[in-house]
Amino acid sequence: MNKLRRTVDKIKPHFQKGGKFAKLESTFGAFETMLFVPNHTTKSGAHIRDAMDMKRTMVVVIFALVPSLLFGIYNTGYQHFLAIGESAEFWSVVWYGLLKVVPIVIVSYVVGLAIEFIFAQIRGHEVNEGFLVSGFLIPLIMPADVPLWMVAVATAFAVIIGKEVFGGTGMNILNPALTARAFLFFAYPAWMSGDKVWVGGMVDGQTLDAFSGATPLAQAAAGNTSFSLGNGAGIDTIDMIIGTIPGSIGETSKIAILIGAAILLITRVGSLRIMLSMLAGGVTMGLLLNTFAANPFMEIPWWEHLLIGSFLFGMVFMATDPVTASQTAKGKIIYGFLIGFLAILIRVLNPAYPEGTMLAILLMNVFAPLIDHYVVQGNIKKRMKRLKTT
């Protein structure tokens, strides 16, 4: 360790003002602070500080996402072999999944981080850790068969337009990962919806002709509420909970998502308020639709909405993004509830969009500051009233 530290100290002057590589100061800083928490001591104010920092926050979220990624890798392989009609051993299933998913992760990180580093360099800031999570989220909300160049374009769009133009991490209005997905959804709709993209190899026609790669959500939208896999085998509730169904890479396994939720809640990194209120919103809408059911999709039981599509994934990992969510405690409850409510509403009643979670979260991202405004205004009004009565 000391040896490493000495090496870092030796090359550090080259990256500081006046050094050969002074232009790369923030890039160097990013790597240095990743290796070592800096030796900065408090100068003013509180002499002691909480051990929590941005890196720790982000790394906890990444840990919470790992189960979803691992299951996503397995499921990608599993769906593929199902579609080509072969049975394969566990490791070859995983191998196929790795070949599909790892390149998406790499592309997302390389493109996103490169842009982040360039912007940090131009601004002369330290590199912010925010993209470590966004870069992990983007692959998890992509279909397995998405072309890599699309991932690259979407990531670049999300980081530049979704984040950096507003001033970087902490300043963005829309969730960057969802911005990437929304970009692809509207720019290349054929690749983000339909029956083919969810199963690896299907776009290239490697799969059996009779095989359908429709997700349970798409099946429900088509009025077929007894879900089945592409080869005709039925999907039961257990399958949807375990996650052996077609869908975006990280969204299918409810168990993996709930493990992530537990990590976020125990560490107090994720907001319980948002998760619970979004759940309540979704359930409320589900019950309302059941009550006034006019077609098979409206009839599916309210709890099944939590298992199909990306509702749960969005609830645990997307809606809880503190930057784009409401910031006040009351605001978080309103914000979460409306996301859940709208997500199911859009999902069931809008035929143009097969999944409502993404759009509901993005919509409420835009309204979050407004919600906060009214919550804070309540506090201000109380103060004004107090002033008047005295």
Partner 1 sequence: MGKPIKVRRGLNIPLKGKAEKQIIDLSPGKLYALKPTDFHGIRPKVVAKPGTEVKVGTSIYYDKFHPEVQFCSPVSGVVKELVRGEKRKLLEIIIETDGKQIQETHEIHDYQTADSVDLIKTLLQTGFWQMITQRPYGVIPNPESTPDFVFVSTFDTAPLAPDYGFVLENMQEELKVGLDILHKISGKEIHLGLNAKADNTLFENLPHTITNTFEGPHPTGNVGTQINAIRPINKGEIYWTINIQNLAMIGRLFLKKSIDFSRAVSFVGSELNQTGYIKVLPGQSVKEIIDGKLVQDNVRVISGNPLTGKAIEKEGYLSFQENQITILPEGDYYEFFGWLIPGLKKFSLSRTYFSWLMPGRKYRLDTNYHGGERAYVVTGEYEKVCPLDIYPQQLIKACMTEDIDKMEQLGIYEVIEEDMALCEFVCTSKTEVQSILRESLDMLRKEMS
Q: Using CB under 8 A as the criterion, which residues of the chain lie in contact with partner 1 when the complex forms?
A: 1, 4-5, 33, 35-57, 59-60, 126, 128-130, 167-171, 266-269, 271, 322-323, 325, 327-329, 332, 372, 376, 379-380, 382-384, 386-387, 390
Closer of 326 and 357 to partner 1 (Cβ) = 326
Q: Provide the residue type at 9 as one letter.
A: D
Which CB sits closer to partner 1, 137 or 192?
137
| Main-chain dihedrals φ then ψ at residue 144, nearest 5 degrees | -60, -30
The C-alpha atoms of residue 290 and residue 281 are separated, in whole angstroms, by 14
CB of 31 to partner 1, least distance (A): 12
Least Å from the CB of residue 160 to partner 1: 17
* Nearest to 298, CA basis, from 352, 344, 249, 253: 344
- For tokens 């299918």, name the residue: 252
Cα atoms found within 13 Å of the Cα of residue 214, Cβ hemisphere only: 20
User: 121 or 327: whose CB is closer to partner 1?
Assistant: 327
315-347: burial string, b at 16+ Cβ within 10 Å, e else: bbbbbbbebbbbebebbbbbbbbbbbbbbbbbb
Q: Residue 8 CB, nearest distance to partner 1 (Å)?
A: 8
In DSSP notation, 255-298 reads HHHHHHHHHHHHTT-S-HHHHHHHHHHHHHHHHHHHHT--SHHH
Q: Between 97 and 260, whose beta carbon lies closer to partner 1?
A: 260
Q: Which DSSP helix (H) or strand (E) runs through 40?
A: none
Pair 63, 132: CB distance under 8 Å: no
- 143 contacts: CB under 8 Å, gap ≥ 6: 191, 192, 197, 198, 248, 249
Asked if 187 and 379 touch (Cβ cutoff 8 Å), the reply is no
| Closest approach of partner 1 to the CB of residue 167, in Å | 8
Min dist CB 387 to partner 1, Å, is 5
Beta carbon nearer to partner 1, 120 or 220: 120
Of 52 and 366, the one with the shorter C-beta distance to partner 1 is 52
Nearer to partner 1, 23 or 268 (CB): 268
**Distance in Å, CB of 250 to partner 1, minimum:** 22
Nearest residue (CB) to partner 1, 170 versus 301: 170
Spatial neighbors of 127 by CB under 8 A, at least 6 apart, are 26, 27, 29, 30, 116, 117, 120
In whole angstroms, how close is the CB of 164 to partner 1 at the nearest point?
12
Q: Which amino acid is at 266?
A: I
Q: How far is CA 346 from CA 215, 250, 355, in A?
A: 17, 21, 7
| Beta carbon of residue 57, minimum distance to partner 1 (angstroms, whole number) | 6
Q: Is the Cβ of residue 85 or residue 167 nearer to partner 1 in the bound state? A: 167
Minimum Å gap between C-beta 162 and partner 1 is: 15
